[in-house]
Structure 1
Amino acid sequence: MSFFWFALVIGFLALVQMQFFFFTGLKKIYYRRYFNKTAVFEGETAEMVEILENRKFTPVPWLRVESRISPYLRFAKQEDVDIRHEQFHKSVFFLRGFKRIRRRHSFLCSHRGFYTLKSASLTTGDLLGLFNKFIRVPSDAYLYVYPRPLGIDEISPACLKWQGDVMMKRWILPDPILVNGIREYRPGDSQKDIHWGATARTGRLQVKVRDYTVSPRLYLLLNTQISEEQWGSILEHDDMEVIETGIRYAAHLASWAVSNGLEVGFACNGRLVDEEGVVRLPAACSQAHLEMILQAMAKLEIVRERNFHTLMDYLYEDAVTGMDFAVISPYWSDTLEKRANKLRSLGNSLTYIPINADQVKSEVSDNEADKAV
């Protein structure tokens, strides 16, 4: 009989605590999370910060926070953190009354992209695990992962040649306004360049030394088609890596242009993750504009939104002129050459920068073989 009463009391207490935590467990629980950076480059690390608050007197015996996160954000192993199937991030907390917990999770950004955290699931229960109760809470956070910067040995010869051609073109004609200094007169100097004040001071003819610049305006065209015969938008893994290499070329050239004070624009026949239509950004020169280009590259989906020659037709129809175009593409064809000549007829220059698909695919195969060992 005593055992019966003991079991009855235990059962009653179990039901009481179950009801207690059922009604109080998730009350006045506040959760938010954010990335400690808004943008990083591929291969760099960042942190996801979780903040959990219990704003009531009663404790929470356990609280599990779950959310789906891209496998390209590779979290380090931690206690009380479980990452399953490289997709679901799970944290477990114990919260005393009026307790605030801040937890940092370090991760590696292994792939270019735009990563968002839309919501999280909070689950709690009683001391004995007799029930679970959960809610979903909005917890928006985002992170841009820019294309990986290229090492000097990774920059293609075609990129380097185009950079050299642009810099040479920059110094062809004298600027009629900018004056860089004064020197003695030489036979052949224009009379309008004589600096009469300096001549009077020195007693010898002095002329103005002008800066030489024509301020080239650059425009990068990226082709997300692997070949002209490509049908559909789905590519094999190694073909995707070929286009990723082209994106890195474009990011390198855009960064180089802005660092040298040159206007640069960007267009691509792919699309952004949250928009429709091809990508087209006008030419400008500022750090903010470079950030805009890199953000577009982070958001870029490797799909064929339009044929590449159609994108070139758009530029011709808009009568774009005075540009130095660099076409970054895995292939070249008669169709593209015809479009290139039409753009040249408007007073533009156009250079083809090839992506060596065979070399990229060979490197991908070697990397996969190394991982398998």
Structure 2
Amino acid sequence: MEILALIIIFLAAVYIQGFLLNFFLFHNLEYSCSFSVDKATEGDSIFLEEIIYNKKPIPISWIKAEIYTSKWLDFAGKDAVIAQESRFVTSNFFLKSYQKTTRRWNVKCLKRGYYKIDKITLVGGDFLGSFSESSDVIDVEAQLLVYPAPVVLERCFRPASRIIGDTIVRRWINDDPFMFSGIREYMPGDALNRIHWKATASRNRLMVKKNDFTANLKTAVVLNIQSRDSEPDEVIDKEYIEFGIKVAATVFDKALKESLPLSFSTNGSIFNEKNPINTKEAVGWEHVNELLGILARLKLKKVQDFEYFINDIYKNYQNTEVIILTSYLTEKICNTIRKIKARKNNVSIILLNAVERENLPGDLDVYIPY
């Protein structure tokens, strides 16, 4: 009888502890998580900080936080389940009474984008598992904007008119083509249309027109979000467009350093907007920061065919350095670019697809990948 009584007492104790731990599991329990920064650049390592606080005298034998986020946020040193575009990570805790625990995850930003963790599922139970697990959904506000990483343009492109192997132009935001100030010796990367033929003949070596760089030279970046001439709304060759986004970010950075007025246009959009993007021209860090935010959020989906889009906007530019980023060229696109040039603009075409090298227009400045 005594053994039976001990068994009954033991089972009753197990039941009572399980009931209390589960019934009061989420009572006076606080949980929060946040990123260490709200903005980062692709390739950066940041922190995701979790804080959990058991504000009651009853301990918590085990509890775990189930975190669903993007697969492009890599939790270092943590095994995770990756499904399509999502990453599932669990974080386990044991909490004594009135204990507060802080955990910091090292997170590497693998890709540009806008990432948000708005809900966390907490799952817990008693140590012996005498009761089924309990769960609760907690609202959190963890947001992160990851800017695209810049690239080294000189290592990525060369003028299509030159022999492979030379060094590309020294700067992509060119000096002012409308202010002639003399001549200098030809350097690899100089456009052929800047050669000063009389000076070349008299000096017996190639000489080019020297242009002054002025702070009021305007710069416009135009990104074709389509990877092919004929494709559905969704981008097919995403790697080309992601590359173009990086190039755009690089030009933005150079424009910022030179304090140049800058605008950005694309036939894509952010979120679920139905109109293409055409920003106003402005200068300074605040403006460039806004443009980088657009690049971070940019969807790989067209809202207007590029041939129609560039024809709609070509009159927006005059006395401007226009940099067009595209994966392909058509005769209609080239004709519209010629209209842009005719309005006293300097136009550079950055071809993002290394395959599209045949039949390039000889009268336009085209740069192709190495």
Settle same-fold status: TM greater than 0.5: yes
Which amino acid letter does the alignment assign opposite residue 98 of structure 2?
F
2:335 aligned with 1:338: yes
Compute the displacement of 1:344 (Å): 4.1
The worse-fitting range, judged by mean Cα deviation, of 254-263 and 85-94 is 85-94
Is 1:145 aligned to residue 146 of structure 2? yes
Shift of 1:214: 6.4
| Separation in 2, partners of 1:347, 1:168 | 12
The answer to whether structure 1 residue 353 and structure 2 residue 350 are counterparts is yes
**1:164–1:114 Cα change, 3 Å:** closer
Q: CA 1:274–1:165 in structure 2 vs 1: closer, same or farther (change >3 Å)?
A: closer
Alignment identity in percent? 23
Amino acid at match of 1:303: K
Is residue 176–residue 213 contact of structure 2 (8 Å, CA) maintained in 1? no
Kindly indicate whether the alpha-carbon contact (under 8 Å) linking 1:56 and 1:97 is maintained by their aligned counterparts in 2.
yes
Structure 2: runs of 5 or more not aligned: 161-167, 182-211, 357-370
Residue in 2 that maps onto 1:94: 94
Instruction: Between 343-352 and 297-306, report the one with greater CA deviation.
Output: 343-352
Identify the residue that residue 224 of structure 1 maps to in structure 2: 225
Q: Which of 275, 283, 286 is matched with 1:285 structurally?
A: 283
Residue by residue over 1:300-330, the C-alpha shift from the partner in whole angstroms, topping out at 9 and shown as x without a partner, is 111222111222133247x554432211101
Q: Partners in 2 of 1:89 and 1:132 — Cα distance?
A: 18
Would you say the 8 A contact 1:43–1:148 is kept in 2?
A: yes
| 1:328 aligned onto 2:325 | yes
Report the counterpart of residue 55 of structure 2 in structure 1. Answer: 55
In structure 2, the CA distance between the partners of 1:112 and 1:357, relative to structure 1 (3 Å rule), is farther
Residue 269 of structure 2: aligned partner: 271
Structure 1 residue aligned with 2:304: 306
Q: CA shift at 1:22, angstroms?
A: 2.2
Alignment correspondent of 1:123:
123
Q: What does the per-residue CA deviation read over 1:144-186, in whole Å, with 9 as the maximum and x for residues that have no partner?
A: 221122135534235954946721437548xxxxxxxxxxxxx
Q: Which amino acid aligns with 2:132?
A: F
Structure 1: runs of 5 or more not aligned: 174-210, 360-373
- SS of corresponding position for 1:338: helix
Could you tell me how far apart the structure 2 residues matched to 1:323 and 1:215 are?
10
Corresponding residue of 1:363: none
1:251-287 Cα offsets, whole Å, 9 max, x none, are 1111101111111111111221354432222221101
CA pair 170-215 structure 1, distance change in 2 beyond 3 A = farther
How many pairs are equivalent? 316
Q: Does the CA-based 8 Å contact 2:175-2:214 persist in structure 1?
A: no
Output the CA distance in 2 between the equivalents of 1:299 and 1:220.
17
Q: Pick closer, same or farther for the CA change 1:85–1:164 going to 2, 3 Å.
A: closer
User: Does the Cα contact within 8 Å between 1:222 and 1:329 map onto a contact in 2?
Assistant: yes
| Cα pair 2:219 2:321 within 8 Å, conserved | yes
TM-score, with structure 2 as normaliser: 0.78
- Matched letter for residue 155 of structure 2: E
Q: How does 1:169-184 map to 2 (within 5 A)?
A: 169=177, 171-172=179-180
Describe the SS at the equivalent of 1:357: coil
Which residue identity is paired with 2:228? S
Deviation at 1:64, TM superposition (A): 0.6
Distance 1:316 1:133 in 2: 61
Aligned with 1:267: secondary structure? Answer: strand
Q: Greater share of helix residues, 1 or 2?
A: 1
Query: Contact 1:171 / 1:214 at 8 angstroms: preserved in 2?
Result: no
Quote how far apart the aligned CAs of 1:353 are. Answer: 1.6
1:197-240 deviation line (CA, Å, top 9, x unaligned): xxxxxxxxxxxxxx9736111110011211212234141xxx21
CA distance in 2, matches of 1:241, 1:23: 51
**For the residues of structure 2 that align with 1:39 and 1:327, how far apart are their CA atoms?**
27
- Of 53-62 and 274-283, more deviation after overlay is shown by 274-283
Distance 1:113 1:43 in 2: 12
Q: Which has the larger radius of gyration?
A: 1
Stretch of structure 1 that moved more, 115-124 or 143-152: 143-152
